[in-house]
Structure 1
Amino acid sequence: MESALEAELRRRIIAWVMDRAEANGGFLHRDELLDFHIDGRKLPVIDYSRGIRNPAVFGSTLSIVSTPHGPYDDAESDDGLLHYAYREGDPWSGDNRKLRNALDTGMPLILFRKEVKNIYTPVAPVYVVDDEPENRAFLIALDESFTFVPDPAHLTTPQKQYALRLAKQRLHQPIFRTRVLLAYDTRCAVCELKHGSLLDAAHILPDSHERGIPAVPNGLALCKIHHAAYDQNFLGITPDCRVEIALDLLEEVDGPMLKHGLQEMHGRDIRLPRRRADRPDRDALAERFHTFEQRAAAAP
């Protein structure tokens, strides 16, 4: 396939993947990736059985799948890059050849993180920026700027810091969102809104807190209005998982959104994940609720 045509197809596929993922809540299901069609023909975005997709008509790899605890030693490192292990077989042919071709051509790929069976969180576009035969691995960067770095295997301190910030924004946070929304069955814990594109994974303890890790027990699936209200302490959640609305907001008279969207949530129990291990950490809720109470006490 001519490189210009392949590049345009990639652009359209990546756009579809990211738009579809956002509509779902940040992730895609295996079936919809396998059943993807473009220009009237079927073109699966992932492979049926392997962690790499190399369409016959493409000169370079289209997508790769990173599975925690999978059969390969794919790993994030302290440089903010993904070290993607060579696939089985001859390192200079087959799957490895098409990955190496992506390095030579600069073609963008889709990285899928498979945290849960049949559920894929996409990160795109990503780029192959280096080949390390001695480690039998390719280096995958989350931003095109790293294709211009002379030696990606030996980043400077500022480059590493930038790469790590990107990993947090483009990899860790989307994965956190997927895990949290799946735990809550893609519903707002407060109002039970089910539209994935309108849901966020809210941190109970923020990123800046020493215990503000991106783990499901430190997360809540909230619609955008309840997430904003929670972040601004207009809405609090007690350690017993009950919603409280700030007194000044309860006394305010405005329109139907305030009345039905916030005031009527006061006193409700939040919807909890079915798995006990996914439920909110009680100590984290207590610490965060104390912040809500401090705002209430300071309100005029």
Structure 2
Amino acid sequence: MRLDLPADFALRDQIMKCLAQLADQSGGIVTREQLTDLEVGGGRRRIVDRNAGIWNPKDLNATLSIMSSPTGPYRDGQVEGGFFKYDYRAGSVDGSNKKLRRAVELGLPLILLFKLKANIFVPVFPVFAVAFDDQARQFLLALDESLRFVEDPGTMSEPLKRYAEQTTRRRLHQPLFRASVIRAYQTQCTVCRLKHGELLDAAHIRPDSDEEGLPVVSNGLSLCKIHHAAYDQNLLGIRPDWVVQINQGLLTETDGPMLKYGLQEMHGTTITLPRRKAEHPSLQALEWRYEQFKAAS
């Protein structure tokens, strides 16, 4: 028996809160195994289909989650203006596609599971299917609730288009970058080895405002929040030979245990690197950033 609409919205909200807590603990990623047995309200719940990319629980009025893979057979991807296109499931326009069209009609929030690698996903939510085209066999997704009511995404004003693109970067690109970097560093701070995912960030080596500041693992470092802040303020630097340097002024200060153990004692230590050499930080990027650190010191 399906829930009435208010109860449907309430259950989705509860599921998303539980999923957010789970993803935060692991640096922004979730496994297929976790998605098949999520603890929700004292019970266990599947939030992903066993074999397909669209999951339609029997007790809900429409689709709950959709899966997208950058290497899959479908044409999913960002479109101009900051929205996201999502292909119909192969076969009939009915079935799973019908339940997803129902989500458009009811305005129900969805979970987008973006595949990072086999059985590992970055959840992005809530997202909203705002339009569908049976002939083109595609849905249009708004990656933020603020974009749900744009009447025609194809004719947005330039300011609104810039806002939509910035929103998409924040809701999709940044979580993918964070999850990719933290996964590469095995969910630990490269400087102090802290292993609590909810306290870790993915720091850009070359900033994303730089044309070479690409959101790729080799331009990222997994840092706890204190070391991320110190890195961004050029109070902590990392040499191209992986050695941590602390601003000379900080080294001579006397303060509490955080300064002593969190920063001063990191001076001269070597960072922990990802297991895969291809995911090591770019030496060119580190050298460029270290010059910024020296100049600021």
TM-score by length of 1: 0.95
Instruction: State the match for 2:281 in structure 1.
Output: 280
**Alignment partner of 2:65 out of 38, 46, 63:** 63
CA-atom RMSD in angstroms:
1.2
> How far apart in 2 are the matches of 1:266 and 1:250?
8
Helix, strand or coil: the match of 2:148? helix
- Structure 1 residues 291 and 129 mapped into 2: Cα distance closer, same or farther (>3 Å)? same
Write the mapping of 1:191-206 to structure 2, written as runs, cut at 5 A.
191-206=192-207
SS of match in other structure, 1:135: coil
CA contact (8 A) 1:29 1:119 kept: yes
The alpha carbon displacement at 1:80 in A equals 1.1
Query: 1:9 is matched with which residue?
Result: 11
Instruction: Provide the rounded CA distance (Å) in 2 between the counterparts of 1:85 and 1:234.
Output: 47
Tell me if the contact between 1:146 and 1:152 (Cα under 8 Å) persists in the aligned partners.
Answer: no
Distance (Å, rounded) in 2 between the aligned partners of 1:110 and 1:81:
15
| Aligned equivalent of 1:75, options 74, 77, 80 | 77
Task: List gaps (5 residues or longer) in structure 2.
Answer: none
| Structure 1 segments of 4+ aligned residues over 6 angstroms from their partners | none
Inter-partner Cα distance in structure 1 for 2:40 and 2:233: 44
Question: Paired residue for 1:28, among 27, 30, 48?
Answer: 30
1:116 maps to 117
Distance 2:135 2:246 in 1: 58
Confirm or deny: 8 A CA contact 1:37 1:44 kept in the other structure: no
Matched residue of 2:130: which SS?
A: strand
Task: Give runs of aligned pairs for residues 125-144 of structure 1, distance below 5 A.
Answer: 125-144=126-145
Q: What is the alpha-carbon distance in structure 1 between the residues aligned to residue 241 and residue 40 of structure 2? A: 49
Report the alpha carbon displacement of residue 71 of structure 1 after superposing the two structures with TM.
2.0
Q: Deviations over 1:11-43 (max 9, x none)?
A: 100111112111221111211110124355542
Aligned residue number for residue 159 of structure 2:
158
The letter of the residue matching 2:76 is D
CA contact (8 A) 2:84 2:142 kept: yes
Closer/same/farther in 2, CA of residues 224 and 133 from structure 1, 3 Å limit: same
Q: Distance between the aligned counterparts of 1:110 and 1:146, measured in 2?
A: 16
Preserved CA contact (<8 Å) 2:18 2:39: no
In 2: Cα distance, 1:33 partner to 1:82 partner = 23
Q: Distance in 2 between matches of 1:37 and 1:130?
A: 31
TM superposition shift of 1:158: 2.5
Give the alignment's TM-score, normalised by structure 2.
Answer: 0.96
What's the % identity of the aligned pairs?
Answer: 49
What does 1:173-188 correspond to in 2, within 5 Å? 173-188=174-189
Helix, strand or coil: the match of 2:135? helix
Contact 1:130 1:152 in 2 (8 A): no
Task: Check 1:197–1:40 CA distance in 2 against 1; reply closer, same or farther (3 A cut).
Answer: closer
Q: Secondary structure at the match of 1:134?
A: coil
SS of residue paired to 1:104: helix
Once the two structures are overlaid, the 10-residue window that deviates more, 167-176 or 154-163, is 154-163
**Does the CA-based 8 Å contact 1:130-1:153 persist in structure 2?**
no
Q: Deviations over 1:150-176 (max 9, x none)?
A: 223443322221111011101000000
Would you say the 8 A contact 2:23–2:30 is kept in 1?
Answer: yes
d(CA) in 2 for partners of 1:132 and 1:157? 25
Contact 1:129 1:146 (8 Å CA) reproduced: no
- Give the gaps of 5 or more residues in structure 1: none
